[in-house]
Structure 1
Amino acid sequence: MPEGHTVHRLAAAFRDGLVGGPVRTSSPQGRFTEAAQIDRMVLLGAEAVGKHLFLAFAPSDDVDLDAPVVRWVHVHLGLYGSWTFAGEPGFAVLHAIGAPRVRVGEQESALPEPDGDDDDGDGRGAGTADWRYLLPRPTTRLRIQGPRGLADLTGPTACELLDGAGRQAIIDRLGPDPLREDADPERFVRRVLASCSPIATLLMNQQVVAGIGNIYRAELLFRARLDPFVPGTELGRGLVEGIWEDLVELMRYGARTGRIVTTQPEHRLLDARIMERTRQNGDDDPTVVPREQSFYVYHRQTLPCRLCGTEVRSQELAGRTVYWCPGCQKVRSRKAAWIGQHPAAPWALETGDD
């Protein structure tokens, strides 16, 4: 399931490529019949809240986002959802987010040009590779097409049309999103400190904090040197505030690059292995940190900890697998001394940012 930073990247892709003008909307699969209600409307805006994407549609571009006439397409990708993009050069820096990660047009056939010309001499109409003539896959729940490109949605957990009140009701159920300017970290701190649930469970509760998935959960707790099973009520305020601060920096890096990297540079070559070889965006780029070097404990069960050599463990907790190092991660109430004090944080080292 895509974690929160990827949904923020999706919202940015829509803002850059499709927001601001009228678009065509359809549901090739036929399951999102509401697509006909917003067809030819203007895509006014796109925003992410945790793992939820909201796309605003209105009859014209001079409508305020909070106007009653605005309709919101709410999408939650879940485990199997995916957005794929195609368009003219520069239309979208992303080609796909979610699973499966394929490009629009892969394993698809193209429609012939209207005039039937065959300038390429290959038995097809001229320019049939043009994105305008790409057929959607039969499983496409929603296609949004603008003058410069298109986006196809397949396999989402949720795809629904809401009014403003419906959108707000979803947002009100969520905890603060570390990537939003309006996030209130105090809400996160209070909810953690007041709960008897294990901190590992709380970090995956979207009502406590919006956008964290299993990778961020495992890596945050390792970086905090914190036992995943400690109840929130046993933690100190400073420690919980430190987890929030670390999460903000890690997710900002993820939103900027499309990758999750939690290891410090000096630790990446220490036992650079991982138990499950899944892909991240950019894995074919030799300039990025390989997945095998990106994590401390996530999918490193049975392997030695990069720092202390203790075997990394895994266990099911509330329906999801939690990963941790028993040697490094202890019951503690204070912020781990190294969090926030490393001068060569991964986001600074890789990007050159201050």
Structure 2
Amino acid sequence: MSTEVGNVAREDTQRRTAARSPDGPAKVTITEIAREAGVSVPTVSRVVNGRSDVAPATRARVEELLRLHGYRRRSPSPGDRAALLDLVFNDLDSPWAVEIIRGVEEVAHEAGVGTVVSAIHDRAGAARQWMTNLRSRASDGVILVTSVLEPGLHDELRRLGVPLVVVDSAGSPASEEPTVGATNWAGGMAATEHLLGLGHRRIGFVQGPSRLLCSRARLDGYRAALDVAGVAVDDSLIVPGDFYHASGFTGCNRLLDLDRPPTAVFAASDQMALGAIEALRRRGLRVPEDMSVVGFDDLPEVRWSAPPLTTVRQPLSDMGKLAARMLLDLARAVEPASPRVELATELVVRASTAAPRAS
């Protein structure tokens, strides 16, 4: 910023500051500072909290505005808390959504904070209607789970000073948004390595929605495990899915119709794995005697499936808890220790996997 432009900006800020508070220094918020600096609220918070991950020019601009406004960081008091959090899903038809809600609710309850759960369903206008409702209830923060908001809605959240935390990013996460996820690549690799270790070489994969980073990471883990084992990736063994039962059923049938069907199936969600087991049952095939099946999630129901499902556990409830804690911090202008967090996955071996049947 040139000296002339900087002086004009400084004089304009001083005029507006005086106009807002004729009797003394204005009580400015970091939202106002962010608006004047042309940056996000989290960026201003990073500067206020002395974080190093801010570009020098941006830091200088924000610090100058902080000085001009006489901003002083307010020490949080015991009663200083957010009052309402928004938890937004693309839909609520999956048991894993319940697990995330459980984690968020536990933290919110302990903090005395209310939770509003919404589903936007990728319907035209649904996200905008949600934004209208959010404005009316003055939410203190949003947790967005495997969903996509239009860029304009992201901008609107910033203008309103509403912090955002993303769980399982859909598409590339914006650089300013804290995210919570699981080690999906490592989980995909562990599941595939387990089947390879049992002796399987033709392993089918039913993938999740390609728009989701977690889906792509699980597929990449599957490919990586095959590559390390020296097994060529056969693209005919990779079939589309959407994380729900029906696509697992359809995908498994597609694999079974191949001239050389796989001896094992890795489904990128537990629900698809259960759909695959049903497809096998209807064809008179047994799990794991005729085909091994692995899922991903470790939903509570899969330990009671027939047979109990081998799967990759992702800590869904813990992901919800962590997202809620990060959001409560952001609502108090306290930056999370790390803007990108991945919780560890774990392979859980049960009775749905075994060595391939001798041919």
Query: Structures share a fold, TM > 0.5?
Result: no
Determine which structure has the larger helix proportion and give its number.
Answer: 2
Normalising by the smaller structure, the TM-score range is: under 0.3
TM-score by length of 2: 0.24
TM-score normalised by structure 1 residue count = 0.25
